[in-house]
Amino acid sequence: MRVAIVGIGLIGGSMALALKEKGFADWIIGVDANEAHQKKALELKLVDEILPLNEAALKSDLIILAIPVNAAEKILPALLNITDKQVLMDVGSTKEGLLKCIENHPKRGRFVATHPMWGTEYSGPQAAVSGAFKDKATVICNKEENDADAIELIEKLYATLGMHLVYMNAKAHDVHVAYVSHISHITSFALANTVLEKEREEDAIFELASGGFESTVRLAKSNSAMWVPIFMQNKENVLDVLNEHISQLRKFKACLEKENYDYLKELIEQANGIKRILK
């Protein structure tokens, strides 16, 4: 199996490692606009060769798009135009806009929309992690629109990586990830900016920041080149979540202003209910 990975960063690089380690791919072709990423990917043996996009696509059996969602939208229709029996898939965080751009394409069935639910705050080929996807979930969207052999290949790929599959339509996916992923990043970015704005002593931040603060603000180190397009693509859902989040913050603020500590205790205990889901 010859696999082309477009975007050799955290997800693309980690997938390259996994596919080689598990014997799913015999040869991996890397595609990346960043020359430093190309060199690092070869140096780390994440890929076997680097080729231009069209050449890589034509020489591959499977093409994996691991690039920002706005970039994927631009190249996906053209890739479907030039490919024939190849299967294409993506690993992006939003789905509705991407599928919309190819909904009437005659080769729509060759593209499988997926979202492996794993990531870190780091980026670039050097961030690639071995065994990253084991025991994690992957969402496959609009399965019914795929050719049978295409969906079978991608299901086999994720089974090989030790992931379990969740099936959703694209619209539902984008709503759910706004709540469980996108809001976490916005909150982390905002908290980091709050601390940087109010706490001028960098040594104090470094010395006094506890494990709780560090884990909460960890996502603020994430790459803007990836997250701005995600927020753009999923704007309406993210705004809906933000409005609810702001409403919740106002409740905590009002409790302190009015010294209503009984209600504050109630809010915290209500939040403790998340333990039923996240153990």
Q: Which two tokens stand for residue 184?
A: 């976490």
The pLDDT, as a whole number, for residue 210 is 65
- Cβ pair 267, 222 in contact under 8 A: no
The pLDDT, as a whole number, for residue 203 is 73
Q: C-alpha distances in angstroms, 30 versus 12, 38, 61, 133?
A: 9, 7, 14, 20
Q: Which two tokens stand for residue 158?
A: 């994720």
Domains and CATH numbers, the chain: 2-168 (3.40.50.720), 173-276 (1.10.3660.10)
**Rounded CA separation 105/107 (Å):** 5
DSSP 182-199: IHHHHHHHHHHHHHHHH-
The stretches in the chain having pLDDT less than 70 are 206, 209-211, 279
**Rounded CA separation 181/117 (Å):** 9
**What is the model's pTM?**
0.88
The pLDDT, as a whole number, for residue 92 is 96
**Rounded CA separation 164/146 (Å):** 19
**CB neighbourhood size of 145 (10 A):** 18
**Rounded CA separation 62/64 (Å):** 7
The pLDDT, as a whole number, for residue 266 is 96
Report the candidate in 249, 279, 245 with the shortest Cα–Cα distance to residue 264. 249
Report the candidate in 221, 227, 196, 222 with the shortest Cα–Cα distance to residue 209. 196
| DSSP-derived 3-state class of residue 251 | helix
Q: Which two tokens stand for residue 151?
A: 């969906």
User: Which residues fall within 8 angstroms of residue 134, CB to CB, at 6 or more apart?
Assistant: 161, 162, 163
Which pLDDT tens digit goes with each residue over 261-273? Answer: 999 999 999 999 9
Burial bucket for residue 181 (CB in 10 Å: 0-12, 13-18, 19+) = middle
- Cβ pair 126, 12 in contact under 8 A: no
